[in-house]
Amino acid sequence: MWDKIKDFSSDFFVTGDPMIYGADVAIVLVSVAILFVLTYFKKWGWLWREWLTTVDHKKIGIMYILASLLMLFRGGMDALLMRAQLAAPDLEFLKPEHYNEIFTTHGVIMILFMAMPLMFGLFNIAVPLQIGARDVAFPVLNSVSFWLFFAGAMLFNLSFVIGGSPNGGWLAYPPLTEKMFSPGVGQDFYIWGIQISGIGSLATGINFIITILKMRAPGMKLMKMPMFSWSVLASCLTIILAFPILTVTLALLFIDRFAGAHFFTLDGGGNPMMYINLIWMWGHPEVYIVILPAFGIFSEVVATFSKKRLFGYKSMVFALMSISIVSFFTWAHHFFTMGSGADVNVFFAISTMIIAIPTGVKVFNWILTMYKGKITFKQPMLWTMGFIPCFVVGGMTGVLLSIAPADFQFHNSYFLIAHFHQVLIGGVVFGYFAGLYYWWPKMFGFSLDEKLGRWVFWLWNIGFYVCFMPQYLVGLMGMTRRYSTYGWDTGWFGLNLTSTIGAFLMGAGFLVQVWQILYSIKNMQKLKDTTGDPWDGRTLEWTIQSPAPFYNFATDPVVSETDDFWEEKQRIAAGGKPRPKPALAPIHMPKNSGMPVVMAGFFFFAGFGFVFDWMWMAIPGLIGVAASMLVHSFRYDTDFYIPVDEVRRTELAAGREV
């Protein structure tokens, strides 16, 4: 009996690596500490009422952001481990198998479990406030989206200590990820973690499309809508077209592994190239899904801190929507080197070059907005200024990669790695940091410390260039991707060491960022936003108190033009009278629901059961998912009204006129 338990434990738990044992200890200690604090301070009821069951879009946004910062730490640690292994030739810091697992989990976590939730967090924080809505169109579905993301992320990360991490690359190409070559459960953790999270992402896309199209404030025509909301609309339209492709692709791979099908195995009549086409039909639009909202953030920040209306509003809208459409016609440039033929290569080379045009248009829009503007260099504007040269270089190297003959030289090298990170860090991460600093006062009622913020900015930016510029050069010298070691005779040592130093500088920037947040919380009274409008903003979110009240707006705002709040402030400053405020009325709001977190828990157990082929767990888990939805469908007490007296008290307590 004891021998059977030992054999099961040795297969079930990841053993033999000191780092894994350290992670085990850390997980246990952190879990015990959380349970102790919640129990000691009697916060279980508060946690359930205020957070686990909330349908308030602002709280859901905060939970997305906290989860994404946790994933940034995990994915960043993977990156530092890889760079430590590559710092010098012939190192044995990581075994090749462990290195494969780390670069696989790094890519998945950073794209799907860091960038996506950070993006969704900012969607939730800003979009309803920008368009004058009191919540999203489907508040309970919004909560379902978050908890499905969280369940998928936790399932994927569990593979680090249970069963073993996936090691087939972040896009899981077969035949390497078929059962014959990946017999362990790591690839199944990959499939089910992404599948469960992807359902939440698809639901978010649907939710925000309906919210933007149907819940805008009176008078806010589409062409008067803030640019961030336009970018969210473009991103969500791409989500609802791209993510079903990912769902089907991973489902087919799972059927191959679970049921012995041969969709992607040549010896069974399948074709691995079908998988590669399908995964990139999702994968390339995915890059634009995460970058489009960053473009919207930069547009808001540049206009606000230049004290000017955004230059070329209509051209910016056209550029965003064009990118959303053309992104679906560029996927094959990811395998120019696989012998597709000249005609196919020419088509996808031209489409890739075309998508650079609307991307370049936006850069000119931002520069011309700043031209003759009264620029103030607060933290959001610093990240925007850091983004522009970084993204221009990333875009130029992307055009180089779009040229099929050149791509034969660049494609499998570190030149491509440098380009990819230039766009995704310099574009996505810098963009979402700009948005995080921009809307932080609206989330929490205080700004983040400016002095520490400058340290964060410079450490991240200097570290970025020190890390990735050498990778262009080492790629041109012949270093290919996925190397876990190299020899002294290659001549790559100096550039790789420099790149590793840059990675650790970015890691230092993240640590200072954590310190900045903790320091600002400690000194929040000094940094408090008492006006609701700390940046002299232009859009509706700055018309209400900070942090935003539960109901967002005491009365429905009415919009007459683009940047309506800014224009109203200018009119009052010129001697005009403020618009008359409508009378207060009871506010209709949704009630909290425990169904989303319960259903996500059942999804987690079902996914865990499928990972280990435990039908005794998977089937009850799926039954629990169905039962959760069925019970919710018979819930009729779903909303309530906030009385006028309560609204008046809340507004007066915040110093607002009613």
What tens digit of pLDDT does each residue of 375-415 get? Answer: 999 999 999 999 999 999 999 999 999 988 889 888 889 99
Tell me how far apart the alpha carbons of residues 489 and 614 are, in angstroms, rounded to a whole number: 50
pLDDT in tens, 502-535: 999 999 999 999 999 999 999 999 999 999 999 9
pLDDT in tens, 613-634: 999 999 999 999 999 999 999 9
Judged against a pLDDT cut of 70, whether residue 344 lies above it is answered with: yes
Q: Note the residue count of the chain.
A: 658
pLDDT at residue 4, rounded to an integer: 73
pLDDT at residue 13, rounded to an integer: 85
Distance of CA 263 to the CA centre of its chain: 31
Tell me how far apart the alpha carbons of residues 58 and 440 are, in angstroms, rounded to a whole number: 11
Judged against a pLDDT cut of 70, whether residue 588 lies above it is answered with: yes
The CA-atom distances, in angstroms, between 105 and each of 158, 165, 169 are 11, 7, 8
Tell me how far apart the alpha carbons of residues 129 and 139 are, in angstroms, rounded to a whole number: 14
pLDDT in tens, 245-276: 999 999 999 999 999 999 999 888 899 999 99
**Residue 500 neighbours by CB under 8 Å, 6+ apart:** 83, 84, 86, 87, 467
Mean pLDDT of 162-177: 93
393 near 465, Cβ under 8 Å? Answer: no
What the block records as the tokens of 240 is: 């609802």
What the block records as the tokens of 29 is: 């200690």
pLDDT at residue 27, rounded to an integer: 87
Mean pLDDT of 446-462: 97
pLDDT at residue 1, rounded to an integer: 67
pLDDT at residue 121, rounded to an integer: 98
Mean pLDDT of 430-439: 97
User: Which amino acid does the sequence have at 453?
Assistant: G
115 near 239, Cβ under 8 Å? Answer: no
pLDDT in tens, 558-575: 999 999 999 999 999 988
CA atoms within 13 A on the CB side of 210: 14
Mean pLDDT of 156-184: 93
The CA-atom distances, in angstroms, between 479 and each of 407, 471, 474, 576 are 15, 9, 6, 66
Residue of higher predicted confidence among 5 and 534:
534
pLDDT band, residue 658 (cuts 50/70/90)? confident
CATH architecture of 43-653: Up-down Bundle (1.20)
Compute the mean pLDDT over every residue in the chain, rounded to the nearest whole number. Answer: 94
Tell me how far apart the alpha carbons of residues 308 and 566 are, in angstroms, rounded to a whole number: 10
413 phi and psi angles, rounded to 5 deg? -110, 175
Judged against a pLDDT cut of 80, whether residue 8 lies above it is answered with: no
Tell me how far apart the alpha carbons of residues 135 and 368 are, in angstroms, rounded to a whole number: 34
Judged against a pLDDT cut of 70, whether residue 577 lies above it is answered with: yes
Which one, of 69, 84, 79, lies nearest residue 107 by Cα? Answer: 79
pLDDT at residue 495, rounded to an integer: 97
pLDDT at residue 113, rounded to an integer: 97
pLDDT at residue 408, rounded to an integer: 87
Quickly tell me which residue has 């099929």 as its tokens: 404
pLDDT band, residue 5 (cuts 50/70/90)? confident
pLDDT at residue 420, rounded to an integer: 94
Peptide bond into 174 cis (omega under 30): no
User: Which amino acid does the sequence have at 454?
Assistant: R
Peptide bond into 547 cis (omega under 30): yes
In angstroms, the first-to-last Cα distance of the chain is 73
Domain residue ranges in the chain: 1-42, 43-653
Judged against a pLDDT cut of 90, whether residue 429 lies above it is answered with: yes
pLDDT band, residue 421 (cuts 50/70/90)? very high
pLDDT at residue 656, rounded to an integer: 83
Distance of CA 261 to the CA centre of its chain: 33
Tell me how far apart the alpha carbons of residues 389 and 368 are, in angstroms, rounded to a whole number: 15
Per residue in 539-554, is it b (16+ CB within 10 Å) or e — as a string? Answer: bbbbbbbbbbbbbbbb
Tell me the whole-structure pTM to 2 decimals: 0.97
Least-confidence region, from 13-27, 112-126, 241-255, 258-272 = 13-27
310 near 377, Cβ under 8 Å? Answer: no
Judged against a pLDDT cut of 70, whether residue 446 lies above it is answered with: yes
pLDDT at residue 21, rounded to an integer: 86
